[in-house]
């Protein structure tokens, strides 16, 4: 069964205790949506997108801001969870329901997300750490968990 993702009903994912407080992430998402990305696309100098997934447990949509890199029509994000020992909820959601909704600036689109192959992960990891060097620290903290690299394609 495919689930239509409706951004208007999306909550914000803040289940990981190391994440910023819910208000700060919620404020980022609200500003991003209200301004069609003019406020929020760049966060601390890096590009962010909004990824809406279908929550596999609660049965609702969840919207998460994520740092991204781009390779033609592919968007690349990491399921870093700030180096936690477990994958973030949004990643577990897309493993169950790979159909997602994407907002990049003013662009909104349906897309499909998947975990990168080992070769793709190796190719894109450097681009992600160039954007946000702390990803290397997150990977060291997360060990033995390998932080998944996710490819989103429209």
Domains of the chain plus CATH, in order, are 7-153 (2.30.110.10)
Compute φ and ψ for 75, nearest 5 degrees. Answer: -110, 135
69-71/61-67 β-pairing: unpaired
pLDDT at 24: 79
Could you say which residues of the chain have pLDDT below 50?
Answer: 1-22
**Residue 53: CB atoms within 10 Å:** 27
Q: Cα separation of 74 and 104, whole Å?
A: 12
Question: What was the pLDDT predicted at 151?
Answer: 98
Specify the pLDDT at position 26. 86
Whether the Cβ atoms of residue 42 and residue 36 lie closer than 8 Å to each other: no
Q: Residues 23-39: pLDDT tens digits?
A: 578 889 999 999 999 99
| Cβ 106 vs Cβ 37: under 8 Å | yes
Supply the pLDDT for residue 117: 98
Buried (b) or exposed (e) across 112-150, using 16+ Cβ within 10 A? ebebbeeebbeebbeebbebbeebeebbebbeeeebbbb
Whole-prediction pTM: 0.84
Strand partners, 65: 50
């Amino acid at each position: 069964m495919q689930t239509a993702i409706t951004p208007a009903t999306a909550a914000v994912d803040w289940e990981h205790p190391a994440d910023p407080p819910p208000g700060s992430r919620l404020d980022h998402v609200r500003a991003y949506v209200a301004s069609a990305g003019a406020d929020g696309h760049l966060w601390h100098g890096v590009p962010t997108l909004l990824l809406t997934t279908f929550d596999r447990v609660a049965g609702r949509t969840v919207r998460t801001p994520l740092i991204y890199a781009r390779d033609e029509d592919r968007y690349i994000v990491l399921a870093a969870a700030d180096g936690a020992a477990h994958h973030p909820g949004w990643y577990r959601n897309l493993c169950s329901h790979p159909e997602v909704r994407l907002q990049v600036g003013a662009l909104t689109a349906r897309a499909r997300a998947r975990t990168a192959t080992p070769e793709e992960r190796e190719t894109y990891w450097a681009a992600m750490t160039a954007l946000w060097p702390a990803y290397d620290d997150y990977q060291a903290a997360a060990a033995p968990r390998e932080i998944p690299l996710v490819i989103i394609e429209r």
